[in-house]
Structure 1
Amino acid sequence: MVRPGNTLRVNYASMDDTALVDAVQHGDRDAFREIMRRCNQRLFRVARGVVNDDAEAEDVVQEAYAHAFEKLSTFRGDAALLTWLTRIVLNEAHGRQRQRRWVVDVEQIEVSQMDNASIVPFPAKFGYEDPAVAAAREQARMLLEEAIDRLPEAFRIVFVMREIEGCTVEETAASLDLRTETVKTRLHRARRLLRTALHDTLSGTLTDVFPFLGSRCDRMTDAVMRRLGA
């Protein structure tokens, strides 16, 4: 393995997690940068699932990385590196939650409820996208994010890991220190709560879908009248 100080450029992207950890343990900080790039999205989403706030989730992940860097010499590979880091993030996030519970007042709760979340990215297709389609996509994303934010924390974090991050049941259970049966149960309940929440949110607009009034109605009516006249 190429060590810091050598003139050859290190291809970190080609290294597996074990090699990266070994490099960091030998003083190569750029290898830790690669670890962060690989893990950032999941760790942010996991933190976001607990603290329910974008800015605080970023703080949680940064603090967790600092702890992980200090403790990396204790990593033995008994679990996957991402699982190990996820546990550190969860410990930091839950620690903040416990500390915050007795200092949060009503005004802070109201402010947090007004914040816009962004945990489920829906990238646009390559090339041009109709502005109306893009606006509808953004509105759907926001509705979904708000519904996820309202889930109880225990269900929210399982939903984020399973449905958004695509973790397996076993990986989710290991990261959260839960039984696999508990993960399955909580995911089922999270889905059911989301369906209910989205139905309640959208039911009032169902009568407005597939609009037919206006120019479309006039065009069709005129076409029929022309046929009748002929």
Structure 2
Amino acid sequence: MYSNEQIGNNPDYVLAVSQALAGRQEGYNFLYQSTYQKKFFIAKKYMGNDSDAQDVLQDAYVQAFSKLDTLKEPDKFPGWLGMIVANTAKNALQKKKMVFFSDLDGVNDEGETMEMQWEDTDVSRQPEIAYTEKETQEMVRTMIDALPEDQRMCILMFHLEGASIREIAQAMECSENTVKSRLNYGRKGIKKQSEELQKRGYKLYSMAPLPLLLFLLESEENAFLASGRLVIPPINTVLERLQNLPKAAESMETASAGKKFLNSMAGKITMAAAGVAVIGGIGLGIVGVVLGQTSPDKATIVPTQQREATATPTATVEPTKTPEPTATPVPLADKWKKAYKKFLSRQITMDDMWNEGQKVHITDYDYLLHDMNEDNIPELIIYLHYGDSRYDEMYRFYSYSEEKGVYLLDELAGISVQNGLYYRPGKPGVIVETGDDYYGDTGAMYDGHLYNYTIINGKMKCKEKAYKCAAGSEVDHRKYWPKGMKALPEMKSRKDLSGLEEAYEKYKQK
């Protein structure tokens, strides 16, 4: 067994993982005891209360212990567990509050990342600050709890847990672009809340909002860990659930045996011979034969048609029935046209990033249709402005299928008003170009970004490229663009359906 001193001073996660994999309880005990308090603190920040945080942690430990053999670097168990806690919390929030994170996977295949500018978060270089425990808790609650769940989780995972953009995207099941977008929105929300704190008389020591929040979180965590107020629940429940997992899996396998049989060729042949007979108990007789049982009534079972023939020796000729007319199938192009037309007749409702639980309703937005994956079903691309900043611009990409109807593929938010939509003839996808002017050491500069969006296996993929050049109308940005890049047609107001009609004529199936 591990002592408390070993847990606090020299956590040997490699040894503990190997012991747990060997079925030794001391390994599980160490992994549980050495991480519980810190993970409880972050889980409570995700969920907002003790009870939900405890439920999330128990589920997370069961998942982690059941997948322990997949952990490639045992010494990094705490960070790996942290991603499982975050994913479990996300699922719990979805179930509890129906807060759906609607982004689909859109990871960058080449691992490129957009450069992000953050404030200096090293507290040692900040002015000496001091708050009471009550003030700290109040300020943290004001700055972080006011954020929407997805932004709050991204901020905490990135800055408190030290997770990478890619790790957060995997845990949140969204694209890396979306993570960056949520981090940027979260920073804006934190800044707004810090301004509210100043109005209420709190002294912020001229610290930037994000470093201040991180200092407060670290102070609150240290006070929480030092207080000893948290009583770590026994590990018994987790281990009991873990032991029951193989039994549950075995039960599921047994229950699915019938489905496996029906999907086998023998099953299909048997059911075909039976004529899918499930009426009047005939199906039970067939099942008995299949399972090797004898049916006492099998010799007396007579098909309905045979009984009727025996009772009526004189055959009667039934009049020929006029076949019912078959419905003419609706062309797929007519379906997506109707669905997109209905979509454009409505306003877009979004979460208000400044007011949790509130919605904003956007009635004015532009659109165009472009077939991004060359399947004759054009994607609907929406461009809208949703805030007061010049960076509150967004592209949303929708597609259509007969199963889902109109559905969201991905979104690119937080872009500048200086942007455009492009394509390359003969190549799938679209390219968003955006950027802004800034002043550098050599004068006015332009910071440009290219986002190349494609659809692969029904999901959006994005590759990014950044470039810098001199600012000014005389500068030709096209030399930084991919060869052959051309502007897509001008977008239409959602009330102007001529763009929809043009796309219908262009892409309708022949």
Q: Which category of TM-score, normalised to the shorter sequence, fits these structures?
A: 0.5 to 0.7
Do structure 1's residue 205 and structure 2's residue 201 form an aligned pair? yes
> Match of 2:27?
31
> Match of 1:77?
72
Does structure 1 conserve the Cα–Cα contact (< 8 Å) formed by 2:87 and 2:172?
Answer: no
> Match of 1:162?
158
Q: Deviations over 1:137-173 (max 9, x none)?
A: 5314322223211101111001112223333444434
What is the deviation of 1:57? 0.7
Question: Following the alignment from structure 2 to structure 1, what is the Cα–Cα distance between the partners of residues 66 and 159?
Answer: 31
State the one-letter code of the partner of 2:183: L
Question: Following the alignment from structure 1 to structure 2, what is the Cα–Cα distance between the partners of residues 206 and 93?
Answer: 31
Structure 2 CA distance for partners of 1:134 and 1:199, relative to 1, 3 Å? closer
Structure 2 CA distance for partners of 1:175 and 1:81, relative to 1, 3 Å? farther
Aligned match for 2:134, one of 100, 123, 138: 138
What is the deviation of 1:98? 3.3
Question: Following the alignment from structure 2 to structure 1, what is the Cα–Cα distance between the partners of residues 196 and 49?
Answer: 24
Identity of aligned residues (%): 24
Does structure 2 conserve the Cα–Cα contact (< 8 Å) formed by 1:49 and 1:153?
Answer: no
Do structure 1's residue 194 and structure 2's residue 190 form an aligned pair? yes
Aligned match for 1:47, one of 43, 50, 54: 43
Question: Following the alignment from structure 1 to structure 2, what is the Cα–Cα distance between the partners of residues 179 and 41?
Answer: 30
Does structure 2 conserve the Cα–Cα contact (< 8 Å) formed by 1:42 and 1:165?
Answer: no
Question: Following the alignment from structure 1 to structure 2, what is the Cα–Cα distance between the partners of residues 15 and 45?
Answer: 19
Question: Following the alignment from structure 2 to structure 1, what is the Cα–Cα distance between the partners of residues 191 and 157?
Answer: 18
Alignment of 1:106-185 (within 5 A): 135=132, 138-185=134-181
Q: Deviations over 1:108-160 (max 9, x none)?
A: xxxxxxxxxxxxxxxxxxxxxxxxx653x531432222321110111100111
Does structure 2 conserve the Cα–Cα contact (< 8 Å) formed by 1:45 and 1:160?
Answer: no
- Report the secondary structure of 2:201's partner residue: helix
Question: Following the alignment from structure 2 to structure 1, what is the Cα–Cα distance between the partners of residues 57 and 188?
Answer: 29
- Report the secondary structure of 1:189's partner residue: helix
> Match of 2:62?
66
Q: Which has the higher contact order (CA 8 A, sep 6+)?
A: 1
What is the deviation of 1:45? 4.2
TM-score when scaled to structure 1?
0.57
Q: Deviations over 1:50-93 (max 9, x none)?
A: 32223311221023213333443x42427953344234323432
State the one-letter code of the partner of 2:197: T
Question: Following the alignment from structure 2 to structure 1, what is the Cα–Cα distance between the partners of residues 79 and 202?
Answer: 42
Does structure 1 conserve the Cα–Cα contact (< 8 Å) formed by 2:84 and 2:171?
Answer: no
Does structure 2 conserve the Cα–Cα contact (< 8 Å) formed by 1:18 and 1:77?
Answer: no
Do structure 1's residue 95 and structure 2's residue 91 form an aligned pair? yes
> Match of 1:225?
none
Moved over 6 A (4+): none
Of the two, which has the highest radius of gyration?
A: 2
What is the deviation of 1:27? 1.9
State the one-letter code of the partner of 1:155: Q
Does structure 2 conserve the Cα–Cα contact (< 8 Å) formed by 1:60 and 1:93?
Answer: yes
- Report the secondary structure of 1:167's partner residue: coil
Total equivalences in the alignment: 168
What is the deviation of 1:25? 1.1
Unaligned runs of 5+ in 2: 99-129, 206-510
Out of 162-171 and 20-29, give the one that drifted further: 162-171
Question: Following the alignment from structure 2 to structure 1, what is the Cα–Cα distance between the partners of residues 168 and 187?
Answer: 16
RMSD: 3.5
Q: Deviations over 1:13-37 (max 9, x none)?
A: 6564333211101122222222224
TM-score when scaled to structure 2?
0.29
Question: Following the alignment from structure 2 to structure 1, what is the Cα–Cα distance between the partners of residues 91 and 35?
Answer: 21
Of Structure 1 and Structure 2, the greater helix share is in 1
